[in-house]
Amino acid sequence: MNEGVVTPAQAPVPPLLEVRGVTLQYKTRDHLVTAAYRVDFDVYRSDRFVILGPSGCGKSTLLKAVGGYMKPVEGSMLLNGAEIGRPGADRVMVFQEFDQLLPWKTVKQNVAFALTSSGKLGAREAEARALHYIDKVNLTRFADSYPHTLSGGMKQRVAIARGMAMEPAILLMDEPFAALDALTRRKMQDELLQLWQDTRFTVMFVTHSIPEAVLLGNRILLLSPHPGQVKAELNSDGTDPVGADGKPLSARIHELLFAQTVEEENVPHG
């Protein structure tokens, strides 16, 4: 995975996604919640950019904002130099929930419908491309099945096929494997990496699992909780390498994420 490595200074192209000083707030019934505070990061083309943090660090909210589902109260988010204003087919979301497929459409229709209703392709090309990507996730046999007849892992594969068929500028994945059992999750992670090897799409991946982040990401953004702020950005090559301090990457991440809570716990009470 080391071919064609460049540093940002040498980069011939600007970042695909630039996030600058973004603060995100949303309202619940009784509170105004600040989910992320002045977050900066860049995502380059073909990145497997992982956002990692404990629950409550605003990682899903951040992804939703990139998806265009909410507007930052301050800061800017530029995709290919254009401000992100609303949801669009150039940023396709893959959700954690199994109900993200339209139950009234078959697997093939689900993928093709995304292409036709976003105006990307006509009906015939959409079907051809849908079948191509369904084949990529090994679901050809189930192309004409309705989603309720599929297992959770298969549904997520359809959602991924749908996302990839759209060939978006950036694929946004919100803990897509979190609701799967451990064996299926492991298999899906390998499949995702294989797919990335084939087409080198750009993906932003939200997770709260350190091993998943280390395995899938080439760049890992660590967020601290309440509200989410950037704690670190680390590189990964999927092998959990031992760093200069003699610790594997996952152990470093673990310390970075949990050091704060340990400090807080050590504060004497009263």
Q: Which residues bind other proteins (CB under 8 A)?
A: 67, 69, 86-89, 91-93, 95, 97, 99-100, 102-104, 113-114, 117-119, 146-149
Q: How far is the CB of 202 from other proteins (least distance, A)?
A: 16
Q: Between 37 and 142, whose beta carbon lies closer to other proteins?
A: 142
Distance, CA of 46 to CA of 255 (rounded, Å): 28
Q: How far is the CB of 209 from other proteins (least distance, A)?
A: 21
Q: How far are the Cα atoms of 9, 148, 196 from residue 5, in angstroms, in the given order?
A: 12, 43, 16
Q: Between 126 and 221, whose beta carbon lies closer to other proteins?
A: 126
Residue type, 120: K
Q: Between 167 and 240, whose beta carbon lies closer to other proteins?
A: 167
Q: Between 78 and 102, whose beta carbon lies closer to other proteins?
A: 102
Distance, CA of 33 to CA of 19 (rounded, Å): 20
Q: How far is the CB of 194 from other proteins (least distance, A)?
A: 25
Distance, CA of 152 to CA of 101 (rounded, Å): 11
Residue 20: exposure state from Cβ atoms within 10 A (0-12, 13-18, ≥19): middle
Q: Between 112 and 257, whose beta carbon lies closer to other proteins?
A: 112
Torsion from C-alpha of 106, 165, 122, 89, nearest 10 degrees: 100
Instruction: Find the DSSP H helices in the chain.
Output: 59-67, 107-117, 123-136, 152-165, 182-199, 210-216, 249-266
Q: Between 113 and 142, whose beta carbon lies closer to other proteins?
A: 113
Distance, CA of 107 to CA of 164 (rounded, Å): 14
Q: How far is the CB of 69 from other proteins (least distance, A)?
A: 6
Q: Between 58 and 217, whose beta carbon lies closer to other proteins?
A: 58
- Give residues with Cβ within 8 angstroms of 79, minimum separation 6: 16, 17, 66, 90, 91, 169, 170
Q: How far is the CB of 218 from other proteins (least distance, A)?
A: 25
Q: How far is the CB of 60 from other proteins (least distance, A)?
A: 12
Q: How far is the CB of 107 from other proteins (least distance, A)?
A: 13
Count the residues in the chain: 270
